[in-house]
Structure 1
Amino acid sequence: MTVIPQGRIRRAALLSACCALAVTGLTGCSSEDPDAGTNGVGKLTAPQIQAKTLKAAESADAVQLSGSVATSGRTYRIDMKLKSDGAMGSVTAEGATFRLLRVDEQLFLMADAGFWSDGDAKADEEAAAKLDGKYVKVPRNDPSYKKFIGFTEMDVLLEGLLTLHGKVETDGRHEQSGVRTVRISGDQGSGGTLDVSLEGTPYPLRLVRGGGAGTLTFSSWGKGFALEEPKKDETVDYGQQLPTS
C-alpha cells in the first residue's frame, strides 16, 4: 500500500479550495500580476506617476489634442496637431469655427465670412466675403496674434493644461481608446483626473479638468506631421487690424 505524505494531502486540499473559489468569482488565490506586460507605472505612487507622465509629455516631439476647454467664461472646442515648430487644426468658440496654421513664427487663420463680418455695413460684408475660406496671415504686432498663438504652442498648452489641483492620489485602472491606463486624481476628482498610459511610454491620454473646465484627450504622441505655409492663391491680406472679439 502506498502512503501519501500528509504535506501532499494538505497542498492538494488547498489547491482544490482555490479552484472552487475561482469558480465562484473569488480569485484571492490567483498569482496573476496586474502589472504584467505594462510599463510598470501602475506600481508607483500618484506623485511619481504624475512626474513621469509630465516628463514624457515634455520630451515628446508632437501630439494631437482634442476636446473642450472652459476659461474666462468661454468654452473652446479644440482639435489641434502640435509640435515645437508649428501646429495645425481648428478651434470653435461661441458657434464660430476657425482654422489655425502656424509654421515657425508665421501664424495663419482661416474662417468663413461670418467670422470676419459684424454685419453692420455692406462694405464690411463684401470685404469679409473675400476672406471667406482663405488663409489670413496674422501680423505679429496685431493683438489677435497673441490671442490665437497660444492655441498653437505645444509647450505652453501642455504646461497650462496638465495640472491637477489638491492632493494627488491614484484612482484605479481604466482604459482609453483600447489602451490600459492608471488614473490619478486631485482632491478625489474635484481637482481633475488624468489617465496615464500603462503601455509603452507613460504618456497622458485623457484629462478631465477640475471644476468642470473641460475634457481633453491626447493621442499621436511623437508622431510628426508636415507643415508648410499656404500658397499665395490661398492667402489674403486683411489690410487692417484683425478683429479681437
Structure 2
Amino acid sequence: MTPISPGRPRRRSAVLAGAVCALLVTGTALTGCAEDPNEGTNGVGKLSAEQIQSRTRKAAESVDTVRLHGTVVSSGRSYTLDMRLKTEGGIGSVSSGGQTFRLLRIDDELFLKAGAEFWGHAGTGDEGGDGKGGSAADAAAAEKLAAKYVKVPQGDPAYKKFSGFTDKDVLLDGLLTLHGKLATDGHHEQEGVRTIRITGDDGAGGTLDVSLEGTPYPLRLERAGKAGTISFSAWGTDFPLKKPAKDETLDYGKQLPSS
C-alpha cells in the first residue's frame, strides 16, 4: 500500500481507513474502526470542557480584531448587532425596537448616527408636541441630527450604554462566559468549520461552539436564559477606523436628548 503523504486530502485518509477496517471484518461486530472525529483537528476536542473554555478565551484575547453579529438581550431589550471590533475601537450597526443606528468609536471618542425617527423618540415630550417625540422644534432638531455623526459626550448616560457595544474586551468578557457546570456536547459544524461544543448546565447556562480547525476561536454562542445568539468571525482580520469628516459631524454639547 502506498504511504499517504502529509499533504494528501483528509477524505482519502478516511477512505483508506475504511478499507483497512473492511479487511478486518470477520463476521463479528467490529470495534475500533470508527473514524476519529478529532483526526486532522487542532486537538482541543480531546480536552475537558474547562480546558477548552480556557483555550478559546486565550485565542480570543490573542488577536486584536473580530466581527460579531447576532442578538443580545439586555435589561429586557433585544439588540441586533453587526459590529467589527478592535483594541482601539469599533464600527457597526445596532438595531432595537424598530430603530437602527450606527456606532463608531475611536479611542475615547464615540459617534452615533441614526435616522430622524430615532432622534424624534429621544425628545422630551414637551407640551404642544405630537406625542411621538416632542415639539415641532424637537422634530426640526431630529432632522438636523439625522444627517450627522453625533459625538456622544463622555458624561452622557448614552456614552456608557452604547460604548460597550464597541469595546472588544468588555463584550467578549461578558459573552464568552458560560454559567454552571461545564461539559462537552459533541462535534458540530458552523459555516463549514468543524467545532466542539461546550455547555453550561446542559445548555441552560449557555452553549459555545469552538473551532477545531486552526486556532480554537469561539465561533457561535447561545447565551444563558435565551438572552441571544452571537456568531464570531474574521478573527485577526484588520479593518480601518476613521473619524467622520468635520462637515459630517455634530458635537451636541454636554448631553444628548434624553431617551
Question: What's 1:65 paired with?
Answer: 68
Alpha-carbon distance between aligned partners in 2 of 1:97 and 1:19, rounded to the nearest angstrom: 65
- How far residue 240 of structure 1 moved from its aligned partner, in angstroms, is 5.6
Alpha-carbon distance between aligned partners in 1 of 2:220 and 2:81, rounded to the nearest angstrom: 14
CA distance change for structure 1 residues 112 and 17 in 2, over 3 Å: closer, same or farther? same
Identity %: 62
Number of residues paired by the alignment? Answer: 228
- How far residue 139 of structure 1 moved from its aligned partner, in angstroms, is 1.3
Alpha-carbon distance between aligned partners in 2 of 1:195 and 1:163, rounded to the nearest angstrom: 13
Asked if 2 retains the 8 angstrom alpha-carbon contact of 1:89 and 1:101, the reply is yes
Equivalent position to 1:185, from 187, 199, 206: 199
Asked if 2 retains the 8 angstrom alpha-carbon contact of 1:81 and 1:88, the reply is yes
- Aligned-residue Cα RMSD (Å) equals 1.9
- What runs of 5+ residues in structure 1 fail to find an aligned partner? 1-13
Listed one character per residue, the Cα deviations across residues 159-199 of structure 1 (whole Å, up to 9, x for unaligned) are: 01111111100000000011000000011111110000000
Alpha-carbon distance between aligned partners in 1 of 2:164 and 2:113, rounded to the nearest angstrom: 16
Alpha-carbon distance between aligned partners in 1 of 2:26 and 2:256, rounded to the nearest angstrom: 72
- How far residue 158 of structure 1 moved from its aligned partner, in angstroms, is 0.3
Amino acid at match of 1:54: R
Amino acid at match of 1:234: E
The 3-state SS of whatever aligns with 1:131 is: helix
Amino acid at match of 1:45: S
Listed one character per residue, the Cα deviations across residues 50-75 of structure 1 (whole Å, up to 9, x for unaligned) are: 11001111112100010111111111
- What runs of 5+ residues in structure 2 fail to find an aligned partner? 1-20, 122-132
The 3-state SS of whatever aligns with 2:161 is: helix
Flag as ranges the 4+ runs of structure 1 deviating above 4 A.
14-17
The TM-score with structure 2 as length reference comes to 0.83
CA distance change for structure 1 residues 57 and 241 in 2, over 3 Å: closer, same or farther? same
1:18 is the counterpart of 2:25: yes
Asked if 1 retains the 8 angstrom alpha-carbon contact of 2:184 and 2:199, the reply is yes
Greater Rg by CA:
1
Question: What's 2:125 paired with?
Answer: none
Listed one character per residue, the Cα deviations across residues 120-161 of structure 1 (whole Å, up to 9, x for unaligned) are: 211110111011142001111222111111111100000011
